[in-house]
Chain A
Amino acid sequence: QQQVKQSPQSLIVQKGGISIINCAYENTAFDYFPWYQQFPGKGPALLIAIRPDVSEKKEGRFTISFNKSAKQFSLHIMDSQPGDSATYFCAAEYNDYKLSFGAGTTVTVRA
């Protein structure tokens, strides 16, 4: 049973557009919410992360919005570039640094 639900499964965006990926969770024991980016044939790599006491975090073109009361968080990719084409996973951390992952979103940026 997926503890973190992620949507959409895939999305296509034009170069320069905004990509939005949403995640929701139920377990209130989660205390850290990272996003990972994965390119074909590679392992996932940390993109950006947030703690639940913060409502928003921005790093370059990537922003996490976090709504603790709704148990939802989202990733916004601004000014999407072809190099952003990858699979993105939201995750939630619980005891002993374990991660529960969403199912993933494949983002395709059209030039």
Chain B
Amino acid sequence: DAGITQSPRYKITETGRQVTLMCHQTWSHSYMFWYRQDLGHGLRLIYYSAAADITDKGEVPDGYVVSRSKTENFPLTLESATRSQTSVYFCATYRGREQTQYFGPGTRLLVL
């Protein structure tokens, strides 16, 4: 039972490059979320999805794009990376039985 996997776990890129962070779940949960974690800010919601082909913005969506063609996958794309997007990115799904979000292991992204 792998749950949620994120790839890559670590990524170094340069300003202006496009980067895609992958998120895969094995449970078929409807809701999926992308957060970024920065010191002093906790976790902030970037985008979320209620089901395949249904996505919506969170608190800090600028500079990010998401898609969800399949229930199990929810990729996050930085179209033109900026240094301010250096962060740890977490993907999560909503588990109704426990009434909680279950988080993946995170992707550490450094934009030079």
Q: Which of B42, B43, B48, B90 has the most CB of A within 10 A?
A: B42
- Counting chain A residues whose Cβ lies within 8 A of the other chain, the interface size class is 20 to 34
Q: Would A103 and B104 be within 8 Å (CB), given that A44-B90, A97-B31, A98-B58 are in contact?
A: no
Is B101's CB within 8 Å of the partner chain A? yes
In whole angstroms, how far apart are the Cα atoms of A21 and B92 in the complex? Answer: 24
In the complex, the answer to whether B58 meets A89 with C-beta atoms within 8 Å is no
In the complex, the answer to whether B48 meets A98 with C-beta atoms within 8 Å is yes
In the complex, the answer to whether B42 meets A103 with C-beta atoms within 8 Å is yes
CB-CB nearest in chain A for B100: A46
Is B33's CB within 8 Å of the partner chain A? yes
B interface residues, Cβ below 8 angstroms from A: 31, 33, 35, 40-45, 48, 50, 56, 58-59, 90, 92, 94, 98-106
CB-CB nearest in chain A for B40: A103
Q: Inside 8 A of B101's CB, which chain A residues have their CB?
A: 46, 97, 99
Nearest chain A CB to B65 CB, angstrom units? 19
In whole angstroms, how far apart are the Cα atoms of A101 and B104 in the complex? Answer: 17
Q: Which residues of A1-57 have CB atoms within 8 Å of chain B's CB atoms?
A: 2, 4, 6, 9, 32, 34, 41-46, 49
Contact of B100 among A6, A34, A89, A96 (CB under 8 A): A34
Nearest chain B CB to A93 CB, angstrom units? 9
Q: Can you pick out 25 interface pairs between chain A and chain B where the beta carbons lie within 8 Å of each other? A: A4-B42, A6-B42, A32-B99, A41-B105, A42-B106, A43-B90, A43-B104, A44-B90, A44-B103, A45-B103, A46-B98, A46-B101, A46-B102, A89-B42, A89-B43, A96-B50, A96-B56, A97-B31, A98-B33, A99-B45, A99-B101, A101-B35, A101-B43, A103-B40, A103-B42
In whole angstroms, how far apart are the Cα atoms of A2 and B106 in the complex? Answer: 22
A interface residues, Cβ below 8 angstroms from B: 2, 4, 6, 9, 32, 34, 41-46, 49, 89, 96-104
